[in-house]
Amino acid sequence: MLTFARIAGILLGLSLGIGACTALPGDGPWMGGAQTTSTEALPFDVIDLTPTTVAAYRQPVTPDRPSSTSHLSPAQKLTVAPGDSLKVRIFERYGGNIFPTIQGQSADLGIQRVEPDGTIKVPVVGVVRVAGLDLNQIERRIIQQLGNKVQEPEVIVEFDAPRNLTVMVAGDVKNPGRVSILEDVRTVVDAINKAGGPMGSSGAGGATGSAANQIQVVVRRDGQMILTAQFSDLLAGGDIPVQKGDEIVVRPNPRVFTVLGAVQKSGNVEMSKHNLSLLEALGTVGGLSDQRANKTGVYVFRMGDLDTNPTARARVFRLDLFQPVSIFVAQQFGLQARDVIYVTNAPLYEYDKILTSIYRTFSILSVMQGNISLTSSY
């Protein structure tokens, strides 16, 4: 028959075992073996974040792809192709027998559709080869072909129905379809906004803030993918010019990071902005838990880019927030999508869990002893 002392010993041993199991390593992995060394034995590199080492991991202010919209020339890009429709008007500067002056009645020669061979047929002028030319070049060619038929002619050529001067916008936009680049559409962002903007945005101005950071834009040109970027990257200065025939696909691409351990609120968190620092990420979840957190044990786990570099190694960044300078380091360290932030438990908190378990065990023993005493009195 088990005596009270034996029962007490068994319960105490179980409480210590259970307390140790729950307290060590705690709510997450044991990080005691993470050293600032890089060896082949470890599947990751450990990097202490200091004012010196953080320089290599700062969040860039602007996207890697610089904006090239300043190099866009409408006259260079908007050329005529078979299937386009042109509106041609011809005037004589001082009046003549064939065409009126520009102040007089319009000499509209009607809509001229570009034939499959790249030509149009203009009254009086004849057949004009226009494929591959911009509007200014076509005007000069018509004047050249008029020769001496007209004295000092004035020619105006405009697009009427530019079937080929469009880009296709598809995916998660409000009005998917073809967008004419003649309607003041010069860049990818212009085309997306012309299609009504991304789904969920407040207006034609497009999504901004956290919504733009969860949207990916893919641009294909001549069958080749030339751009894959977050919509927020384009808004931040990475926009590029469009060309006729471009295909633009807008699709959701949530960018999240994960926070675990001794923080106020753990879980997956959407990145609310293009440039997010480690300090801002910790602030998003309410910061560290005052009672639980080990200020010297803040870690960021980052997988290597296995898609482009199969041999890439994962990295573990370690930050000691007990050092005042670490606040500035955390402001500079740029967080990336799929990063995992883990804050370890303080040692005193782990010991407190053990003591709490022992206290509960002795409480149970006290109740049992009281029950035994009552039974003995009978």
Find the CATH number of the domain harbouring 92.
Answer: 3.30.1950.10
Do residues 294 and 262 make contact, with C-beta atoms less than 8 angstroms apart? yes
Strand (E) or helix (H) holding 194: helix 188-194
Whether residues 139 and 105 share a domain: the answer is yes
As separate numbers, helices (DSSP H) first and strands (DSSP E) second, the chain gives: 8, 16
307 domain residue, yes or no: yes
Whether residues 175 and 238 share a domain: the answer is yes
Strand (E) or helix (H) holding 11: helix 4-23
CA dihedral 332, 336, 338, 344 (to 10 degrees): -10
Q: Which domain holds residue 335?
A: 44-61+256-349
Give, in order, the Cα–Cα distances in Å from 324 to each of 50, 284, 319, 327, 344: 11, 20, 11, 6, 19
Whether residues 345 and 263 share a domain: the answer is yes
User: In 286-346, which residue ranges form alpha helices assigned H by DSSP?
Assistant: 325-332
Structure confidence at residue 246 (pLDDT): 92
Last residue in a domain, options 252, 284, 310: 252
Q: Is the dihedral of CA 168, 174, 180, 185 positive or negative?
A: negative
5 domain residue, yes or no: no
Last residue in a domain, options 161, 192, 209: 161
Whether residues 331 and 311 share a domain: the answer is yes
102 domain residue, yes or no: yes
Side by side, the strands of the sheet bearing 293-302 are: 44-48, 314-319, 293-302, 340-345, 256-261, 267-270
Whether residues 155 and 171 share a domain: the answer is no
Main-chain phi, psi angles of 145, to 5 degrees: -75, -25
Whether residues 84 and 155 share a domain: the answer is yes
Give the residue from 124, 90, 25, 72 showing the smallest Cα distance to 344.
25
Whether residues 138 and 179 share a domain: the answer is no
- Give me the residue label for tokens 């979840």: 285
13 domain residue, yes or no: no
140 domain residue, yes or no: yes
Whether residues 219 and 297 share a domain: the answer is no
Structure confidence at residue 25 (pLDDT): 43
Tokens of 159: 């697009």
Whether residues 222 and 260 share a domain: the answer is no
Give the residue from 228, 308, 326, 237 showing the smallest Cα distance to 275.
237
Give, in order, the Cα–Cα distances in Å from 8 to each of 5, 13, 23, 231, 372: 5, 8, 22, 65, 13
376 domain residue, yes or no: no
372 domain residue, yes or no: no
Do residues 164 and 77 make contact, with C-beta atoms less than 8 angstroms apart? no
Structure confidence at residue 223 (pLDDT): 86
Domain count, the chain: 3
- Give me the residue label for tokens 């801002």: 280
Q: 263 forms bridges with which residues in the sheet? A: 288
Do residues 210 and 272 make contact, with C-beta atoms less than 8 angstroms apart? yes
367 domain residue, yes or no: no
Whether residues 183 and 153 share a domain: the answer is no
pLDDT in tens, the chain (378 residues): 445 455 445 444 544 454 444 443 445 555 555 555 445 556 778 889 999 999 888 866 544 444 444 444 443 457 888 888 888 888 777 665 555 554 445 567 778 888 989 899 888 888 999 988 888 899 899 889 888 777 778 888 888 866 667 899 999 999 999 888 877 888 999 999 999 998 865 544 455 556 777 888 999 998 899 988 888 888 888 889 988 889 999 998 888 899 998 889 988 888 877 788 999 999 989 988 877 888 888 999 988 765 556 677 888 999 998 888 999 999 999 998 889 999 988 765 444 444 455 445 545 545 555 555 545 555
d(CA 350, CA 315): 27
The CA angle 342-346-348, to the nearest 5 degrees, is 160
Q: What is the CATH number of the domain that holds 207?
A: 3.10.560
Whether residues 127 and 96 share a domain: the answer is yes
Last residue in a domain, options 132, 161, 190: 161
Whether residues 183 and 248 share a domain: the answer is yes
Structure confidence at residue 190 (pLDDT): 92
Tokens of 310: 């199969």
Count the Cβ atoms, other than its own, within 10 Å of residue 55. 10
**The overall pTM is greater than 0.85:** no
